[in-house]
Structure 1
Amino acid sequence: MTVAEDRPRMPAEEFERIAAGAEREGVRLEFVHGKPGAKAAPDGDHDEIVRRVMEHCVQQRPDLWLYPERGLKVETYRRGRAKPDGTLASKGSFAGQGEWAAADQVVTVVEVTSYDNDTDKRDRDEKPRAYAETGIPVYLLVDRESCELLVFSEPEDGAYGNVARRSFGRTVTLPEPVGITLDTEPLKDWVR
């Protein structure tokens, strides 16, 4: 990758202005690795997966909350803007912050793949790097195409040092500082 490829095509502040206008029109935008992109609207199965993960979080870690669609400042120097499907952090972590919050209290981000190519590519290829650069300890990707969970952990030098793949139907424990165990059997019902 060249330096020019990693340089934002617009300042984050300009993106925020554009994103705010788009949101009023029902379009959700993200800004990852210098490129703006629309985020696909979730379908009902997508929502059920997020709900299922949220239930596990609430039951096993009542000190944390899974915030849906929480805007985060991501990447090196926090130049990017992402809206994960779920952001796990201590309750009250985002009080007093605007639409795009600092991610220093985040312990996990959750993304559920969509059937939209642009969003899907960001979730699989671009966001792992952005979240690792931010220092988010765990990135959970629920991949509905391959019917598996990808658990990214141990962020260091802009990359996750560990990636574990687990097929739907298995029990998966997210590493510390999360420590939540997910029963993934029901996820089989929410894929095409």
Structure 2
Amino acid sequence: MADPASHRPTLREIHESMEVPGHRVELIGGRIIVSPVPQIRHGEIVFWLGDQLQNVCAAKGWSRLPQTTLDMLATDERIVPDVLVYPREESIAEAWLVPAARALLVVEIVSPSSRRTDYEDKCVSCAKNGIPMYLIIDPYDATLTLCTEPSEKGYRLVHSVDVGDKLDLPEPFGITLDTGTLPIKAAES
């Protein structure tokens, strides 16, 4: 019989055991990443997007939640997107993990420490896990980047707009985001 003291915990087990108040803990690319909680502007952007998505989510029975852990089985990762939209399902209402296969839209709001992770690591991971849409809101570049058509290599379509322009979210959303109301200053020309 194996010695219980010789058991080396897996990254998933370590991830599940971590509680770091004031921080978000994610498992990405074989690394555990601990990030501080976001700035106030970050929260304002989350609420702006929630307002933009409110009607379509209500009409279609979708949840739109901030800071919800997404279980990325295809890449053996766990991420905590800034906003996650998925069909409301009673069977996972009491859970802390949402399966990536349920996700319709993952949104990341760039912070100085998350730029590479948001634009590269999470983007590729979401595509490999088949998440239909990945949206990056970058308050520092004053842009929104929508990635669609996921594949094993990444997203096939990437469309960016400047703050102040309109951004169409394709079906099943079928709405246009008016980024002129986004609480971000437009980039200086």
TM-score band w.r.t. shorter chain: 0.7 to 0.9
Give distance in 2, aligned partners of 1:134 and 1:154: 12
The correspondence of residues 120-139 of structure 1 with structure 2, limited to 5 A, is 120-139=115-134
Match of 1:105 among 99, 102, 105: 102
Larger radius of gyration: 2
Give distance in 2, aligned partners of 1:16 and 1:94: 20
Instruction: Determine whether 1:55 maps to 2:71.
Output: no
Give distance in 1, aligned partners of 2:115 and 2:186: 14
Give distance in 1, aligned partners of 2:91 and 2:158: 28
Unaligned stretches of 5+ in structure 2? 1-8
After the TM superposition, list the runs of 4 or more consecutive aligned residues in structure 1 that deviate by more than 3 angstroms: 188-192
Deviating more after overlay: 150-159 vs 52-61? 52-61
The correspondence of residues 34-45 of structure 1 with structure 2, limited to 5 A, is 34-45=30-41
Structure with greater contact order relative to length (CA < 8 Å, sep ≥ 6): 1
Return the offset for 1:187.
2.3
- Is the 2:71–2:97 Cα contact (8 Å) retained in structure 1? yes
Match of 2:78 among 77, 81, 84: 81
Return the offset for 1:128.
0.3
Identity of aligned residues (%): 27
Return the offset for 1:188.
5.3
TM-score (structure 2 length as normaliser): 0.84
Give distance in 2, aligned partners of 1:143 and 1:40: 17
Give distance in 2, aligned partners of 1:65 and 1:176: 16
Give distance in 2, aligned partners of 1:98 and 1:39: 22
Give distance in 2, aligned partners of 1:13 and 1:191: 43
Residues 68 and 188 (structure 1), Cα distance of their counterparts in 2 relative to 1, 3 Å cut:
closer
TM-score (structure 1 length as normaliser): 0.83
Aligned length: 177
Give the corresponding residue for 1:5. none
Unaligned stretches of 5+ in structure 1? 1-8
SS at match of 2:125: helix
Match of 1:90 among 87, 90, 112: 87
